[in-house]
Amino acid sequence: MLSVPFANHGPRRAEDPLLRGPVTRSRLTGPDTYNWETSAVYSQGWSVPTTREGAAERPATPRASVIVRARDMAPTIGAALHSLRGQTVEAEVVLVDSGSTDGTVEIARGYCDKVLSIAPADFSYGRALNLGVAEASGEICFALSAHRVAPGPRWVQSALEAYEDERVAATAGETHGPDGRVLMGPTTFCLPLPWLATNLDWGLSNTASSWRRSAWESEPFNEGLDACEDKEWMWRVLAAGWSIVADPRLHVPGDHRRQAGWTALYRRVYRERRALAELVDFTPLGAQELAEYWLTEFPYVSAWPRWTRVVSPYRAAELMGRYMGERAGARRRGPGAVPADFFSRTPIWTPPAVPAAELSS
């Protein structure tokens, strides 16, 4: 079978993080700026369906650890942890709590193998994950938000299948590719991915995700970001020569984003878009584009009439959060930002020749 070549079969040991800013490199040392112009390793290929052939020859299933971040999530933490204890593959469960006072920790102790704490003043999404992974024992680590449940009892098992390919760094529960095409099953992606330049929200989401420990050891999560630590990490591991598997079976709906109300939704979208606009060099949404999008673009399927969706406070929160966040992020952007053409660059690595025998098979 002809396979898509990759730059290497594992991580390039990073000499520096993706971007400037305060980043804890628990196992690495180096400067604080990733030099996109001189980075020498890129991969080639995209949209390769992940096969599930040769089950009898599969290696032993790696042990999994699930990191759950929480603060004052007593109403939902029980359901989240219960869904993990009902998996077809046993997984270690690690809670990282950042100052709960509503009984979250007491509920969690009945489900978790380890309960860790981090001071609210020290919390960031990346720091909580780095702490959890450092204390976990699994070779494959998962993240699940405390307000979500696993999408089914085979969530862990299905994700572990992707790691039979040693080039895979992580899995994402996406139902579409970065170009908008519907995914019919697990699909492997690696650079170049030009569609990411206009679809920065696509890919790894630590609402429900998994990653290989060895990839994390070379590229820990960025602790200096207040949002989008998952996307920034994915871009770094892709640049290091790894691949990502997007699998619709792992998808967890994002309806929780509206459950806290429209003001909380605005703040969340604002933080995310500000982070993305600071990380990547792109033109933020303009006033005219905002108006056109508000009146014509409806990305969510809904039974509500169009006019009610136009005046929805949740839609207003999402669009204004994007507009204001992108403008704020662009003002904070520095010279270390990811260049706009990074995702579509032609790899400078030349793949090895495929043997004639393999081509004819």
Of 211-220, 221-230, 255-264, 295-304, the one with minimum mean pLDDT is 295-304
Residues 85 and 204 in one domain: yes
Does residue 41 sit within a domain?
no
Q: How much is the mean pLDDT over the chain?
A: 78
CATH code (residue 197)? 3.90.550.10
pLDDT of residue 244: 95
Residues 165 and 267 in one domain: no
Q: Domain count for the chain, please give it.
A: 2
Q: Which of the 8 DSSP states describes residue 97?
A: E
Query: For the chain, first and last CA: distance in Å?
Result: 6
The two three-digit tokens of residue 100, written as one number: 């709960």
Mean pLDDT of 231-236: 94
Does residue 18 sit within a domain?
no
Tell me how far apart the alpha carbons of residues 194 and 351 are, in angstroms, rounded to a whole number.
Answer: 19
Task: Convert the pLDDT of each residue in 29-77 to its tens digit.
Answer: 222 222 323 322 222 233 333 333 332 333 344 589 999 999 999 999 9
Higher-confidence residue: 315 or 103?
A: 103
**pLDDT above 80: residue 153:** yes
Residues 147 and 104 in one domain: yes
Residues 135 and 268 in one domain: no
Cα separations in angstroms, 104 against 73, 93, 118, 306, 351: 6, 15, 14, 40, 51
Residues 101 and 231 in one domain: yes
Residues 224 and 271 in one domain: no
Read off the amino acid at residue 347: P
Of 112-116, 300-304, 339-343, 351-355, the one with minimum mean pLDDT is 351-355
Q: Which of the 8 DSSP states describes residue 9?
A: S
- Listed in sequence order, the DSSP H helices in the chain are 74-85, 104-109, 125-135, 155-161, 213-218, 229-239, 256-259, 262-279, 287-296, 306-310, 313-332, 356-359
Residue 28 burial (CB < 10 Å; 0-12/13-18/19+)?
Answer: middle
99-120 as b/e, with b when 16 or more CB fall inside 10 Å? Answer: bbeeebbebbeebbeebbebee
| Res. 26 pLDDT band, cuts 50 70 90 | very low
**pLDDT above 50: residue 323:** yes
Task: Convert the pLDDT of each residue in 174-220 to its tens digit.
Answer: 999 999 999 999 999 998 899 998 899 999 999 999 999 999 999 99
**pLDDT above 60: residue 14:** no
Residues 210 and 294 in one domain: no
In a 3-state reduction of DSSP, which class is residue 5?
Answer: coil
| Nearest CA among 66, 89, 59 for reference residue 158 | 89
Q: Which residue do the tokens 């109300």 mark? A: 261
Mean pLDDT of 87-98: 96
Does residue 136 sit within a domain?
yes
Tell me how far apart the alpha carbons of residues 42 and 173 are, in angstroms, rounded to a whole number.
Answer: 24
Does residue 38 sit within a domain?
no
Does residue 205 sit within a domain?
yes
Read off the amino acid at residue 272: E
Residues 183 and 118 in one domain: yes
Residues 109 and 225 in one domain: yes
Higher-confidence residue: 323 or 302?
A: 323
Higher-confidence residue: 136 or 46?
A: 136
Higher-confidence residue: 79 or 24?
A: 79
Residues 200 and 58 in one domain: yes
Does residue 21 sit within a domain?
no
User: Range of 207's domain?
Assistant: 48-250
Does residue 348 sit within a domain?
no
Does residue 144 sit within a domain?
yes
Residues 211 and 238 in one domain: yes
Residues 169 and 222 in one domain: yes
